[in-house]
Amino acid sequence: MLKASYRKFILHFSKPAGTSRGILHSKESYFLFLTDDQHPDVTGIGECSILKGLSPDDRPELEAKLMQVCLNLPNAWDNRNEFLAEWPAIRAGLEMALTDLKNGGKRMLFPSSFTRGETAIPINGLIWMGQPENMLRQIEEKINSGFRLIKMKIGAIPFADELKILQHLRSHYSPDELAIRLDANGAFSPAEALNKLEQLAGFGIHSVEQPIRQGQPNEMAEICRNSPVPVALDEELIGINSATEKARLLDTISPPYLILKPSLLGGFEASTEWINLAEERRIGWWVSSALESNIGLNAIAQWTATLNNNLTQGLGTGSLFSNNFTSPVIVKNGALHHSNDIPWDLSSIN
């Protein structure tokens, strides 16, 4: 007999985080705790990570739905395609908790060479929006820390200033020395997107995520066909639940890349469905975290390590929050490592 409970937790950013949707100071996560009557001392933990204004779960009924899940295990999971179709963060957190419980409740969800400390996961260094001087300082810090691929958020400061930052970067680092991904978070209008992408192309950009807002598949398809910079779909995938809908979207837009965020897409099983459909169409992909705590980041990193994808991943480093949990997942030389010498400290949510 499974028993479940949940707890809300507010993560505080160490520094305000600028995005095209505004400045973030904190974010919510809800942790699901699962136990089994036969092993009451073993607890599986899953994180339901909520991004305000972006997560489909961000609505007043969220806690009522979490309570329904806790009162209806295991039916909630067995009927997940219907019961949790519109609640991807809850579905992801429940899948995470069930997987953790199945594997002994030790936050060792997907054992691999990564969890044994034998391999690492290359990740991009995330640069937050801000004043040009601040962004340049962040970039220098990432490069000095061993990152060879950076991801810049664009769209919140004047485009001319963003071009100057890129010009400065390329005057010091060639594309062979430093790869650059850009994330527009839908900041461009369809009418201006191609012109801006053409201006960006001169800087040897790896890709631009979500140049226009999601929900405009025909306009996005035209941009993907004509852009001199490869386009990656991110927010576009949110809320697309059935395999038929997913295949239709990919066939309509034909993007070069997908960015898979399990917390926004419904977890590992749902993300794997995207991967299979993408590979059938020779569409590239990588995995990204979505401001989870170290509990969610640990699970996503472990899952990612099993996928054998040789692209640099978009996983976080756990250092964004001042009240994050101590975990074995650390960043070193531009990559995530799992250090079994570092114990978990989850005392703040017990």
- Spot the catalytic one: 27, 142, 246, 261: 261
Contact call for residues 13 and 320 (beta carbons, < 8 A): yes
| 59 C-beta neighbours (distance < 10 Å), count | 12
Contact call for residues 97 and 34 (beta carbons, < 8 A): yes
Contact call for residues 340 and 118 (beta carbons, < 8 A): no
CA pair distance 346, 350, nearest whole angstrom: 7
Is residue 137 within a helix (H) or strand (E), and if so which, with residue range? helix 132-144
CA pair distance 43, 76, nearest whole angstrom: 18
Is residue 279 within a helix (H) or strand (E), and if so which, with residue range? helix 268-280
Pull the structure tokens for residue 59. Answer: 């609505």
Contact call for residues 207 and 181 (beta carbons, < 8 A): yes
Q: Is 153 a catalytic residue?
A: yes
- Spot the catalytic one: 153, 164, 196, 332: 153
Q: Is 15 a catalytic residue?
A: no
Q: Provide the annotated active-site residues.
A: 153, 261
